[in-house]
């Protein structure tokens, strides 16, 4: 399950900021999302899916996981490259099947 946040730092409880602080309202939010079965954060799918649904269009999303944020915040360049390549292959295959 994916959580779609409209903010990169506070909404995703990121501490890798200049100040290293997260506002009280968001502290512990990652644990709460994990308890509900959320496996990743992203920022665009809610908007994309809402806009398409409002127009009667089909839409989907593929999320590629590039870092386990319970262990680190900074992604590895090779992991990013591999994940992007795999995501593109999945999207192309999905489009081929659906169109």
In whole angstroms, what is the distance from residue 83 CA to residue 6 CA? Answer: 23
Task: Mark 37-74 as b/e (b = at least 16 C-beta within 10 Å).
Answer: eeebbeeebeeebeeeeeeeeeeeeeebebeebeeeee
pTM surpassing 0.75?
no
Tokens representing 55 are 């127009």
At 67-98, the pLDDT tens digits run 888 888 888 999 999 999 999 999 999 999 98
pLDDT digits (tens, 9 = 90+) for 10-36: 778 887 777 888 888 889 888 999 999
Could you state, in order of their start, the residue ranges of all structural domains in the chain? Answer: 1-57, 62-99
pLDDT for the residue 78 = 95
Question: Could you give the CA distance from residue 84 to residue 65 in angstroms, rounded to a whole number?
Answer: 9
């Amino acid at each position: 399950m994916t959580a779609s946040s409209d903010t990169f730092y506070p909404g995703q409880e990121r501490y890798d900021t200049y100040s290293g602080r997260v506002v009280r309202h968001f502290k512990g939010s990652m644990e709460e999302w994990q308890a509900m079965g959320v496996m990743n954060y992203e920022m665009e799918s809610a908007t994309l899916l809402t806009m398409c649904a409002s127009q009667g269009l089909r839409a989907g999303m593929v999320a590629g996981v590039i870092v386990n944020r319970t262990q680190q915040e900074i992604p590895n360049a090779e992991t990013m490259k591999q994940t992007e390549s795999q995501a593109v292959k999945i999207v192309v295959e999905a489009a081929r099947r659906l169109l």
